[in-house]
């Protein structure tokens, strides 16, 4: 056996790392199997490639549990029939949690943005809980916003130290397949964002160039977050879980300077 292989087998075969992985949330108000299946089919027809094998988290924040019961196995089967992968449930009710665990689903905490919506946006950013498993904190919280190039496929997702808001500035193009995340602050991109790229921020997103990939602002539930871009050509834009796909965006603002924000829990587009 070569020495390099022997050294490899002498070390642990796995390790756990903290990371921020964006997931699509399916918010359920009530459950009717036929309507549920039809709604999935209609949504998938709008962008079949976007939804293919998409991992989903089922949110029960607004579920009317007094109207009907849930069958998580049935819901997972209906999703699977549409090539959607239900991997977890967001719930607080002990009965729902037990049922989800019995169905082999992960259980996540409710959206913090729904609970703390009365606070000021800056307070929301400062009071967000840090990841339980993190990379090393930033060395100097008083320093200016970070300026860097997205060299890695997925950039470090550790939250800034001491609750400080740390904006992230990217000066080079973000290519297809890259993911850039700004934890605890805004993401400022001084270059184009290519189709197939994904940019995320706990706060606002600013793109001083064409936005052709996926942009997710307020990923920890900040409903005051906004997305600014010089040319709206995105595959998807999401703010605090409310999103529009390319087909929804191709209206009067397409390929124009645009601002996207939430109004009455709906994602709207305004001209810059």
Q: What is the pLDDT of residues 128-165, one digit of tens each?
A: 333 333 333 333 333 333 334 444 444 444 444 445 56
Q: Radius of gyration (Cα) for the chain, nearest Å?
A: 20
As a whole number of angstroms, the distance between CA 196 and CA 173 comes to 12
As a whole number of angstroms, the distance between CA 217 and CA 167 comes to 13
Residue 108: which of 226, 229, 25 has the closest Cα? 25
Q: What integer best gives the mean pLDDT of the chain?
A: 79
As a whole number of angstroms, the distance between CA 116 and CA 127 comes to 10
| CATH architecture of residue range(s) 121-134+143-271 | 3 Solenoid (2.160)
Which of 9-23, 24-38, 73-87 shows the lowest mean pLDDT across its residues? 9-23
Edge-to-edge strand list for the sheet holding 54-59: 24-27, 54-59, 84-90, 106-108
Residue 247 phi, psi (nearest 5): -60, -35
For the domain covering 24-110, report its CATH number: 3.30.70.260
The long-range contacts involving 160-164, CB below 8 angstroms and separated by at least 24 positions, are: 160/184, 160/185, 161/137, 162/137, 163/126, 163/127, 164/126
pLDDT above 50 (res 236): yes
> Rounded mean pLDDT of 112-123?
41
Q: Which residue has the higher pLDDT, 130 or 178?
A: 178
Domain boundary assignment for the chain:
24-110, 121-134+143-271
Residue 190 is classified by DSSP as: S
pLDDT above 80 (res 169): yes
Residue 183: which of 236, 146, 143 has the closest Cα? 146
Which of 28-42, 87-101, 136-150 shows the lowest mean pLDDT across its residues? 136-150
pLDDT above 80 (res 200): yes
Local confidence band at 68 (pLDDT 50, 70, 90 cut-offs) = low
The predicted model scores a pTM of: 0.54
What does each C-alpha distance from 234 to 142, 170, 186, 255 come to in angstroms? 34, 18, 18, 9
Q: Tell me whether domains 24-110 and 121-134+143-271 share a fold.
A: no
**Exposed e or buried b per residue across 115-150, where buried means at least 16 C-beta atoms within 10 angstroms of its C-beta:** eeeeeeeeebbeebeeeeebeeebeeeeeeeeeeeb
pLDDT above 80 (res 228): yes
Location of structure tokens 């992960």:
106
Give the N- to C-terminal CA distance of the chain in Å, as an integer: 63
Per-residue pLDDT, 44:
83
Local confidence band at 19 (pLDDT 50, 70, 90 cut-offs) = low
């Amino acid at each position: 056996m070569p020495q390099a292989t022997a050294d490899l087998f002498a070390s642990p075969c796995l390790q756990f790392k903290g990371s921020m992985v964006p997931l699509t949330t399916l918010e359920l108000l009530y459950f009717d199997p036929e309507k549920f299946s039809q709604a999935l089919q209609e949504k998938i027809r709008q962008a079949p490639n976007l939804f293919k094998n998409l991992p989903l988290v089922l949110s029960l924040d607004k579920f009317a549990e007094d109207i009907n019961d849930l069958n998580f196995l049935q819901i997972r089967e209906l999703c699977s029939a549409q090539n959607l992968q239900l991997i977890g449930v967001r719930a607080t009710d002990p009965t729902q949690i037990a049922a989800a665990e019995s169905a082999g689903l992960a259980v996540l905490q409710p959206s913090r943005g729904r609970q703390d919506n009365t606070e000021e946006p800056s307070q929301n950013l400062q009071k967000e809980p840090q990841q339980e498993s993190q990379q090393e904190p930033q060395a100097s919280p008083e320093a200016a916003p970070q300026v860097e190039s997205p060299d890695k496929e997925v950039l470090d997702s550790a939250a800034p130290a001491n609750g400080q808001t740390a904006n992230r500035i990217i000066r080079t193009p973000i290519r297809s397949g890259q993911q850039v995340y700004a934890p605890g602050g805004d993401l400022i991109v001084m270059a184009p964002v290519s189709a197939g790229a994904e940019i995320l921020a706990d706060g606002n997103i600013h793109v001083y160039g064409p936005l052709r990939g996926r942009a997710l602002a307020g990923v920890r539930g900040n409903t005051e977050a906004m997305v600014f871009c010089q040319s709206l050509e995105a595959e998807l834009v999401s703010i605090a879980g409310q999103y529009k796909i390319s087909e929804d965006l191709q209206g009067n603002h397409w390929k124009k300077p645009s601002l996207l924000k939430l109004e009455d829990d709906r994602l709207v587009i305004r001209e810059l």
